[in-house]
Amino acid sequence: MRTLRDVKVGEKAIVVKVKGEGHLRKRIMDMGITKGCEVAVIKVAPLGDPVEITLRGYDLSIRRQEAESIEVE
Amino acid sequence: MSIRIALAGNPNCGKTTMFNRLTGSSQRVGNWPGVTIDRKEGRLKGQEGVTVVDLPGIYSLSPYSPEEVVSRDFLLNDRPDAVVNIVDATNLERNLYLTTQILEVGIPTVIALNMIDVIRKEGVEIDKAELSKRLGCPVVETSALKGDGLEELIKEVMAAPARGAGSYPRYSDGLEAHISKVSELIKGHVPDESVRWYATKFLERDSMALEAVPAEVAEEVEKVAAAMEKEFDDEADSIVAGARYDHIGGIISAAVKRDDRRGKETTSDKIDKIVTNRWLGLPIFAAVMFTIYYISITTIGTLGSDWVNDTLFGETLIPGVDEWLSSNDVNGVLSGLIVEGIVAGVGAVIGFLPQMLVLFILLVILEECGYMARVAFVMDRVFRRFGLSGKSFIPILVGTGCGVPGIMATRAIEGKKERRITAMTTTFIPCSAKLPIIAMIAGALFFQSAWVALSTYFLGILCILMSGVILKKWHSMTGAPAPFIMELPPYHAPGLFTVIRSTLERGWAFCKKAGTFIMLACAIVWFLSAFDWGLNMVDDIQNSMLSDIGMSLKWVFVPLGWGDDWEFTIGTITGLVAKENVVGTFGVLFGYAEPSEVGEEFWDIVAARFGPGSLGQLAGYSFLAFNLICAPCFAAIGALRGELGSWKDTGKAVLYQCALAYVIALIIFQFGSILLGGGFQIWLLLAAAALVGLVYLLAAKDPFKAIGRGLLRRPADE
């Protein structure tokens, strides 16, 4: 399954499912990364991680490892 | 009649500015019970008996972060008379997510649609009446920064308690059916006005909320949740979060009449393209850090600190108080305590205040304008590897000036684990008060080589990174890891009012510490150094209790190569009051009443005590290493207590620092002396054991579990 980690800079994707549990999973969804939401990866940090994404009209920084728990299409 | 109003909103929504506007100068800062999160309270301006409570900035009323927990506890259990929900108009969609949850709690709510001036400028038009109708509560357009809309906001808030709670957000019919089922089940078990909130939280399987009802009710609720999951073919929390955002989507498409931002690049985007650019990001970061360091530590801040140290305390206050006491025939013991113990001791600490204020101003500006989040973004990769956070760099940088603001600066780190580890390790980096010790050792033993100073910074960084690796494995010390999902707020100019206010607040917190805890510690050390065991005052510190304590402890440092000299032990102890005391103490001990700051006069004595040749240099470096890494001064320990939250954890942290300092100094001296042909000492075995232990802690997957079987109780993983 493709995850947000696989989305390249400049590309967009639609969230299918948030995996994981507890704090991380809830936090991801609280920040608006929910099923059906469109997310665009806009930048990678100078050292290659984390990545900056934009969704629901604002910018969010997320580590690649955390992006892995977000399934997209 | 007394009314209580809670201020709630996302981080970066302008809440602090709004709170300052609403309460003016009547604020009180305390702590939320059990956590080290500031609880701010103030009186509403122009109203009798109205208290405003500032809730921490949160994204949701989830049960995970302490900020969220204190907020929901306050709303549910303390039930304020009204809630002002501050909503950032430039980020409406995500901000309204919290709003949907606040409305469900069933407390009369007023929405402050903040930063309305910014959003208008960006060409967005929001239909206030439509928004209010859809949300079921009054909406007031405000700009906290400019002070617009405040009168109307206060008017609406005062009317809110009488008007009562508005309507709840209504979700899809499918979900509503399940919510009403749960509502029926829990009626009577939870307060009537919060049934809706509990019902939706139960459907999310919110663990904390479920504790509010008997187990058999919780079981029934679980059946409903399971049925809902089957119907929607999704997980419960995802269904509810999705429903909230769908609901918000509906509100926004109805209330936002025009949005010129779509697909357009804002000024903030343009700035960010340069500031966090793949190639320019790191150089810009380095330049910003250098500027902060340059302004606060080496130029403006130092000017102020020198003035306080030399002119205010050195030439005015200390002689002045001394004179006043003697002209009033105050007992010699008492005047000694006051002048040498308290005034001089506290003065040494207050001397850092100007430096710190300059630093605080710059840091608040960085935080307010949104750069701090970018620092974390740029640096995260490096520090995460070592169990720290991207934001750990700031405290360490500040710590090169003074560890106290350094430790206090860790507050900006969101993850609890990273915050605590950073607070515990920040003082490893040499602060400005440690520079005289470095200069003394370099001068006495290393021909004033600049490499000595440089090497201590590397040693500091090394200790920080090693500690990060070690401490992140220590669950009881650090708690569960927090996700690093961080909003990158748009850049905006910081408000002058907020900058000044936050700076003074932090400065004042420091002064309070200097005035209480540090004063007591200074008095105790002075007492020990001025009296013998028969409680007779001594002229010579060599006859004092402190000297005896030093004598009885000196064997501890024999393996570190400090030899038979108790003076080094005493210097280390007085260094706890303030690190710049170390050199001064040697001055007293070696018979120089008023040595220069770096003790040039007795460099030859120091050199002689450590012994000749490269072994003497090694012993001196071991002394230096221990003094730099071991427990910081009382002021910094006090600050650490403030961040860690309890004396127990602070004690553990200080113990860890001392142990690490000991191990490092031991390894340096013992292995160094073998390499330099100093011959075998039995302590080499101890050093070898320490090295093996250190490597084990660094490499082992779960070292504290193995070591601490039966000794350290490790709480179950969350």
pLDDT digits (tens, 9 = 90+) for B414-447: 777 888 999 999 999 998 788 889 989 999 999 8
The pLDDT, as a whole number, for residue A43 is 92
The pLDDT, as a whole number, for residue B478 is 55
Per-residue pLDDT tens digits for B501-555: 888 877 887 777 666 766 777 778 778 888 888 888 887 777 888 888 888 888 8
B200 with B240: CB under 8 angstroms? yes
Residue B333, token pair as written in the block: 């013991």
Task: Check pLDDT > 90 for residue B63.
Answer: no
Q: Which residues of B41-64 are buried (b: 16+ CB within 10 A; e: fewer)?
A: bbbbeeeeebbbbbbbbbbbbbbb
The pLDDT, as a whole number, for residue B710 is 41
The pLDDT, as a whole number, for residue B321 is 84
- Which residues of chain A make contact with B380, given a CB cutoff of 8 A? 45, 47, 49-50, 61, 63
**Of residues B238, B483, B488, nearest to A59 (C-beta):** B488
Q: What is the mean pLDDT of chain B?
A: 86
**End position of a domain, from candidates B139, B163, B187:** B163
> Tokens 């957000």 appear where?
B169
Cβ burial, residue B389 (10 Å; 0-12/13-18/19+): buried
Tell if the CB–CB gap between B488 and A32 is shorter than 8 Å.
no
**Of residues B59, B91, B373, nearest to A30 (C-beta):** B59
Max Cα distance, chain B (Å): 88
The Cα–Cα gap between B658 and B292 comes to 30
B587 with B594: CB under 8 angstroms? yes
- Which residues of chain A make contact with B60, given a CB cutoff of 8 A? 26, 30
DSSP state of B113: E
Distance of residue B59 Cα from the nearest chain A Cα, in angstroms: 7
Per-residue pLDDT tens digits for B362-400: 888 888 888 988 988 998 888 888 888 888 888 887 788
Tell if the CB–CB gap between B378 and A47 is shorter than 8 Å.
yes
Tell if the CB–CB gap between A45 and B380 is shorter than 8 Å.
yes
User: Nearest-5° angle of CA B152, CA B155, CA B158?
Assistant: 150
When pLDDT is averaged across residues B223-235 and rounded to a whole number, the result is 94
- Which residues of chain A make contact with B263, given a CB cutoff of 8 A? none
In A, minimum Cα distance to B285 occurs at A46
Range of the domain at A11: 4-72
User: Do residues B158 and B127 both lie within one domain?
Assistant: yes
User: Do residues B150 and B32 both lie within one domain?
Assistant: yes
Angle at which helices B128-135 and B236-255 cross, to 10°: 150
B711 SS3 class: coil
The pLDDT, as a whole number, for residue B712 is 44
**Of residues B94, B278, B384, nearest to A32 (C-beta):** B94
The kind and range of the H/E element at B459 are helix B450-471
Helix, strand, coil percentages, rounded to 5, for chain B: 65, 10, 25
Taking alpha carbons only, the member of B597, B571, B615, B591 closest to residue B435 is: B597
Range of the domain at B9: 3-163
B622 with B562: CB under 8 angstroms? yes
B605 with B560: CB under 8 angstroms? no
User: Do residues B124 and B204 both lie within one domain?
Assistant: no
Residue B129, token pair as written in the block: 């009446």
When pLDDT is averaged across residues B333-352 and rounded to a whole number, the result is 73
User: Do residues B135 and B225 both lie within one domain?
Assistant: no
The Cα–Cα gap between B430 and B417 comes to 23
User: Do residues B24 and B99 both lie within one domain?
Assistant: yes
**Of residues A26, A50, A52, nearest to B62 (C-beta):** A26
- Which residues of chain B make contact with A71, given a CB cutoff of 8 A? none
**End position of a domain, from candidates B163, B189, B210:** B163
User: Do residues B71 and B207 both lie within one domain?
Assistant: no
**End position of a domain, from candidates B259, B286, B306:** B259
Distance of residue A49 Cα from the nearest chain B Cα, in angstroms: 6
The pLDDT, as a whole number, for residue B593 is 61
Q: Minimum mean pLDDT among A54-63, B278-287, B341-350: which range?
A: B341-350
When pLDDT is averaged across residues B652-676 and rounded to a whole number, the result is 94
Tell if the CB–CB gap between A63 and B484 is shorter than 8 Å.
yes
User: Do residues B122 and B159 both lie within one domain?
Assistant: yes
- Which residues of chain B make contact with A5, given a CB cutoff of 8 A? none
Number of domains in chain B: 2
**Of residues B237, B245, B380, nearest to A26 (C-beta):** B237
Per the domain annotation, does B307 fall within a domain? Answer: no
Per-residue pLDDT tens digits for A26-65: 999 999 999 999 999 999 999 988 999 999 999 999 999 8
Q: How many helices and strands in chain B, by DSSP H and E?
A: 36, 10
Number of domains in chain A: 1
Per-residue pLDDT tens digits for B316-332: 888 888 888 888 887 77
Specify which of B84-88, B213-217, B513-517, B610-614 reaches the highest per-range mean pLDDT.
B84-88
Per-residue pLDDT tens digits for B75-122: 999 999 999 999 999 999 999 999 999 999 999 999 999 999 999 998
Distance of residue B481 Cα from the nearest chain A Cα, in angstroms: 9
User: Do residues B247 and B205 both lie within one domain?
Assistant: yes
Per the domain annotation, does B211 fall within a domain? Answer: yes
Tell if the CB–CB gap between A35 and B92 is shorter than 8 Å.
no
N residues, chain B: 718
The Cα–Cα gap between B164 and B108 comes to 5
Across the A/B interface, how many CB contacts are shorter than 8 Å? 120
When pLDDT is averaged across residues B33-41 and rounded to a whole number, the result is 77
Q: The domain spanning residue B229 has which CATH number?
A: 1.10.287.1770
B134 compared with B262, residue with greater pLDDT: B134
Residue ranges of chain B whose CB lies within 8 Å of a chain A CB: 59-60, 62, 64-65, 91-94, 97, 234, 237-238, 241-242, 245, 261, 272, 276-279, 281-282, 373, 376-378, 380-382, 384, 480, 482-490, 718
Confidence of residue B713 (pLDDT cuts 50, 70, 90): very low
Q: The domain spanning residue B108 has which CATH number?
A: 3.40.50.300
Per the domain annotation, does B382 fall within a domain? Answer: no
The pLDDT, as a whole number, for residue B462 is 94
Tell if the CB–CB gap between B485 and A27 is shorter than 8 Å.
yes
> Tokens 């919060």 appear where?
B194
User: Do residues B51 and B177 both lie within one domain?
Assistant: no
Q: The domain spanning residue A23 has which CATH number?
A: 2.30.30.90
Task: Check pLDDT > 90 for residue A14.
Answer: yes
- Which residues of chain A make contact with B377, given a CB cutoff of 8 A? 45, 50, 52, 61
- Which residues of chain B make contact with A49, given a CB cutoff of 8 A? 380-381
When pLDDT is averaged across residues B25-40 and rounded to a whole number, the result is 75
Confidence of residue B349 (pLDDT cuts 50, 70, 90): low
User: Do residues B145 and B179 both lie within one domain?
Assistant: no
**Of residues B59, B261, B278, nearest to A31 (C-beta):** B59
